[in-house]
Structure 1
Amino acid sequence: MQVAGIAATFVWLGMVLAISFLEAPLKFRAPGVTLQIGLGIGRLVFRALNICEVLLAVTVVVAVWAGGAGTLGVAAVAVAVVMLAVQIVAVRPALTRRSDQVLAGADGPRSHAHVVYVGLEVVKVIALVAAGFALAASAS
């Protein structure tokens, strides 16, 4: 079970890095991608990412619960799971409301929720790196 937890942690980390820090900013630089198209794509991609993240988080939590993880591993997994929960429950709804407004043609300042989401992503990435290495060390 520990191997599954380690693998799920690093897959989760890779998905977050690839989507949040590569795909998300780059799609707006593609020729012909307007803000509205980019937001529409982003909503679909992040919805799918969050579903995958929840499944991976469950796998990691079950692996940690099954035993063998040290205190650092447990704490790091807890931080990653809490960051994901806050993103899904508190921040994504605000981002969805703002993107609904933009898609309807409203102008205005950028959402502060976006900055919060990115900050939570950074914390989650750090927690996943720590969790992955802690889980791997405890499996040795």
Structure 2
Amino acid sequence: MNTTSAAVAGAAVFVWLGMVLAISFLEAPLKFRAPGVTIPLGLGIGRIVFRALNLAEAVLAVVVLAAVAAGGPGAAVVVATAAAVAVLAVQLGIVRPRLNRRSDRVLAGEQVPRSSAHWYYVGLEVIKTVVLLVLGVLLLSV
């Protein structure tokens, strides 16, 4: 893989990784511990924050895809890139819509049972974090 493409892709990967770590593993759980933050308020904030995060992730994924495609990557970089993009696609296309429907109901005042969709999203975030770290290291080794 050429060094320019690897540098661009690597920078985008590490920005993406930092955003996921900061939002998903720091901001999201901590906001519910703040004084006066109710479940509906936390959900409302979370929806706005995760909408922005997911938009930024989609843009970064496109940058990574373009840089990797232009750089003549090895198989490991291609697999890691595909895995990161696939996890994001599952989150955005399958899990997030389920979470949004549930949070719509909570914000409308309904009492709804706990959902396992949140745990699927968290599990996918962990997988995505590991994949992005591996991809970033692979790109640094070019």
Which TM-score band (shorter chain)? over 0.9
Aligned residue runs from structure 1 range 33-112, under 5 A = 33-112=37-116
Distance between the aligned counterparts of 1:87 and 1:111, measured in 2?
Answer: 15
The Cα RMSD (Å) is 0.9
Q: Which residue of 2 aligns with 1:5?
A: 9
| Runs of 4+ in structure 1 over 3 Å off | none
Distance between the aligned counterparts of 2:115 and 2:65, measured in 1?
Answer: 32
What 5-or-longer segments of structure 1 have no aligned partner?
none
**Kept in 2: contact 1:95–1:114 (CA 8 A):** yes
Deviates more, 1:110-119 or 1:100-109: 100-109
Distance between the aligned counterparts of 1:73 and 1:127, measured in 2?
Answer: 10
**Kept in 1: contact 2:8–2:64 (CA 8 A):** yes
Distance between the aligned counterparts of 2:22 and 2:73, measured in 1?
Answer: 27
Distance between the aligned counterparts of 1:68 and 1:26, measured in 2?
Answer: 41
Number of aligned pairs? 138
TM-score (norm 2): 0.94
